[in-house]
């Protein structure tokens, strides 16, 4: 059962993002620089004051589990707050929009946005631009982190999926079914990634820690740099390049993933197999 809440100040436009600090406080952000906070107890949410009289849209907000909130928005806006009374602090402004921000629980913030925008920060205040894989220059709409595997995943327009172990080095992944509309968000839990998008699209993946059988049918001989698409049950496609020597028609190759990518070596009926992402 859902209960409608009361907010301070009569705001009636759009809220775009909401987050929880893990202990009791909520923060919601939206258009016209709107920020509202709630302790989970009071009858009314409290209107907070954005820094620098910011009146653009905030699109995403996250908390570090300790003392800092970070909100991101249009025109490169980044603001932070320590949860106490007073206004937020403007950390950055200018440039293309940010659409989402996330924290890894150990010291790294990642914010993503339009134009393939990725920026990282160790403190939520100083931000460093990063480079998306494969020259991607459209919007990233969602970002999330899997602490178990130490993996970031960002999703965006045209079915874009990219992963990174550190927020700096990004690798393009491939959605199932040739999906080319925009993914709007991504989350991780219970060992599973879930991405959602336009057209009622929902795709799931166990990420880089899963694998499955790949059947290759070809004439006896050598296949060099063959494009192999695998789809373990309930996961997204991954496009691999395999150098496979001396296989027989209908041989089945089984391999898995580790935290850094695909396993580098394996065997096919005693023959050599090397695979790279």
* Domain stops at, among 176, 207, 238: 207
Closest to 21 (Cα-Cα) out of 55, 56, 70, 58? 70
Is 33 a domain residue? yes
Same domain (yes/no): 38, 151:
yes
The strand pair at 6-7 and 44-48 is best described as parallel
Residue 78 and residue 89 in contact, taking contact as beta carbons nearer than 8 Å: no
Sheet-wide strand order for 35-38: 6-7, 44-48, 35-38, 26-30, 15-20
Same domain (yes/no): 111, 242:
no
Give dist(CA 196, CA 185) in Å, integer: 6
Angle at CA of residue 97, ends 36 and 198, nearest 5°: 85
In tens digits, the chain (277 residues) has pLDDT values of 999 999 999 999 999 999 999 999 999 999 999 999 999 999 999 999 999 999 999 999 999 999 999 999 999 999 999 988 788 999 999 999 999 999 999 999 999 999 999 999 999 999 999 999 999 999 999 999 999 999 999 999 999 999 999 999 999 999 999 999 999 999 999 889 999 999 999 999 987 545 444 444 433 343 332 333 333 333 333 434 444 555 555 555 555 544 444 443 444 444 445 444 4
| Token pair belonging to 137 | 């220059």
Is 36 a domain residue? yes
3-state helix/strand/coil string of the chain: CCCCCEECCCCCCCEEEEEECCCCCEEEEEHHHCEEEECCCCCEEEEECCHHHCCCCEEEEEECCCCCEEEEEHHHCEEEECCCCCCCEEEECCCCCEEEEEECCCCCEEEEEHHHEEEEECCCCCCEEECCHHHCCCCEEEEEEECCCCEEEEEEHHHCEEEECCCCCCEEECCHHHCCCCEEEEEEECCEEEEEECCCEEEEECHHHCCEEEECCCCCEEEEEEEEEECCCCCCCEEEEEEEEEECCCCEEEECEECCEECCEEEECCEEEEEEC
Q: Can you give the pLDDT at residue 143?
A: 98
Same domain (yes/no): 127, 248:
no
Same domain (yes/no): 202, 217:
no
Give the gyration radius of the chain's Cα atoms.
Answer: 22
Same domain (yes/no): 58, 106:
yes
Largest CA distance in the chain: 73
Same domain (yes/no): 84, 187:
yes
Domain, as residue range, for 251? 212-276
This prediction has a pTM of 0.78
Is 201 a domain residue? yes
Closest to 48 (Cα-Cα) out of 5, 2, 83, 4? 83
Is 1 a domain residue? no
* Domain stops at, among 147, 173, 207: 207
- Number of domains into which the chain is organized: 2
């Amino acid at each position: 059962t859902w209960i409608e809440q009361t907010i301070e100040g009569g705001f009636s436009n759009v809220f775009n993002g909401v987050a929880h600090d893990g202990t009791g406080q909520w923060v919601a952000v939206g258009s016209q620089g709107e920020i509202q906070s709630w302790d989970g107890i009071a009858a009314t949410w409290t209107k907070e004051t954005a820094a620098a009289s910011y009146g653009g849209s905030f699109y995403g907000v996250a908390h570090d589990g300790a003392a800092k909130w970070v909100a991101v928005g249009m025109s490169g806006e980044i603001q932070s707050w320590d949860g106490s009374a007073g206004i937020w602090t403007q950390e950055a402004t200018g440039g293309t929009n940010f659409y989402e921000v996330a924290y890894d629980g150990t010291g790294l913030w990642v914010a993503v946005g339009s134009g393939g925008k990725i920026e990282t920060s160790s403190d939520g205040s100083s931000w460093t631009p990063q480079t998306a894989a494969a020259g991607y220059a459209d919007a990233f709409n969602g970002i999330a982190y899997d602490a178990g595997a130490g993996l970031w995943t960002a999703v965006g327009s045209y079915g874009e999926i990219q992963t990174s172990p550190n927020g700096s080095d990004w690798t393009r992944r491939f959605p199932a079914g040739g999906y080319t509309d925009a993914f709007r968000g991504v989350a991780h839990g219970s060992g599973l990634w879930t991405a959602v998008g336009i057209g009622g699209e929902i795709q799931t993946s166990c990420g880089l820690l899963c694998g499955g059988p790949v059947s290759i049918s070809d004439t006896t001989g050598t296949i060099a740099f063959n494009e192999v698409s695998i789809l373990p049950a309930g996961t997204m496609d991954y496009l691999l390049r395999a150098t496979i020597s001396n296989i027989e028609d209908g041989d089945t190759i089984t391999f898995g993933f580790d935290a850094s990518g695909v396993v580098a070596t394996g065997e096919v009926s005693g023959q050599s197999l090397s695979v790279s992402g």
